[in-house]
Structure 1
């Protein structure tokens, strides 16, 4: 038997809306390129992006995040 691959860790919360001003997803704060290429990133690269995500929230106008 083959062992299934480990699931890919992701910050996705199923709110996929890209903010035109910051170019970040309003749900997870990743760029469109990061979202699209997430599965191709190494685990180390994904962890590096995830570590940076909390600081990206400040790049989005607070009123755009009022619903999330």
Structure 2
């Protein structure tokens, strides 16, 4: 029997397949920065949750503008 590690339920990516950065280096679709997009695959679940919090704040800021 193989010694397998259980697959963790990782934090889902906010990507919706529309990748275009605006003048603030934020994706117009998922609202992540270019760095956040590039590093997503190596972030811990806690770091991904922190990015999600930033996304929600950016969306709120967009609505307030």
TM-score (norm 1): 0.69
If asked which structure has higher relative contact order (CA below 8 Å, sep 6+), I would say: 1
Gaps of 5+ in 1: 62-68
Calculate the aligned-residue CA RMSD, in Å.
2.0
2: CA distance, partners of 1:15 / 1:47: 21
From 15, 18, 34, give the equivalent of 1:15: 18
Q: Secondary structure at the match of 1:45?
A: helix
Partner of 2:32: 30
Which structure has the greater CA radius of gyration? 2
How many residues align? The count is 58
Deviation at 1:5, TM superposition (A): 3.3
Gaps of 5+ in 2: none
